[in-house]
Amino acid sequence: MGYKRHVQATPLIRDKCRELILDGDNNAKVKKIMEVFLDNVQRGLKRETHPSAVVKCFPTYVQDLPNGTEVGKFLALDLGGTNFRVLLIELSGEHFEMKSKIFAIPQHIMLGSGEQLFDHIAECLAIFVKEEHVADQRLPLGFTFSFPLEQKGLTKGLLVSWTKGFKCSNVVGNDVVQMLDEAIERRGDVQIEVCAILNDTTGTLMSCAWKNHSTRIGLIVGTGSNACYVEKQENAELWDDVDMGSGKVLINLEWGAFGDDGGARFR
């Protein structure tokens, strides 16, 4: 009986999946999606059209990719869901060592205040550095923050909106780096300096570029999807820093919102 139902359902499944086959009319559809997406990217990059753009194209203020010669000991904090990860990374030429630990965020903290959230994160950071016997060292920390973020600099990022079930109060519109710094200072028992805040797509691009120097795009496909890429700085009109640096900047697309305007630009 089960086999017969499977056979009967197959034509229906094939019909539903037909649009995923890239041939014939679908090629024209894919080309149209590409054209509309590129138009959305241009709207996100330009200061005049950015407010109404659904693909926001936020400048990350990260300009240079690693070249594999970096050395030193670093902390990383990866916050993007109900669990977050703290890492201790030591780079030496093209060799690296990494230790990490996963911490949970209880439901009441996800729905509580921003101060509660960052106090919890600071507590977990303190636990980790003490377990790894580096609490007496002043280590730089890279903060991967996988929520829509409007960056105003390498160490300043304003939360645009919560996603993934988070609803912490008094965080939207505020600088999450400052909130983490203040939580660390309230403890007073660890020396951690947040040296950069970045999206998980940017972190993916940076880590892959360290191994493969031709990497220029970072892509996340998980609970949500997003991407970042290397753009000419002159095209990123939201860039507020007068320092041109390398003349390039990584752009956080926030392309998960693509189509949120109801596909108006397809018509």
What span, in angstroms and rounded, lies between the C-alpha atoms of 46 and 144? 25
The catalytic position among 56, 181, 200, 248 is: 200
The catalytic position among 130, 164, 167, 232 is: 164
Residue 4 annotated to the active site: no
What span, in angstroms and rounded, lies between the C-alpha atoms of 79 and 121? 9
Q: Estimate the crossing angle of helix 114-131 against helix 176-187, to 10 degrees.
A: 60
Tokens of 73: 């000991």
What span, in angstroms and rounded, lies between the C-alpha atoms of 57 and 228? 8
Distances (CA, A) of 249 to 65, 89, 95: 10, 24, 26
What span, in angstroms and rounded, lies between the C-alpha atoms of 93 and 90? 10
Residue 240 annotated to the active site: no
CB atoms within 10 A of CB 219: 15
Query: Which phi and psi (to 5°) does residue 162 adopt?
Result: -80, 150
Q: Which positions are catalytic?
A: 164, 200
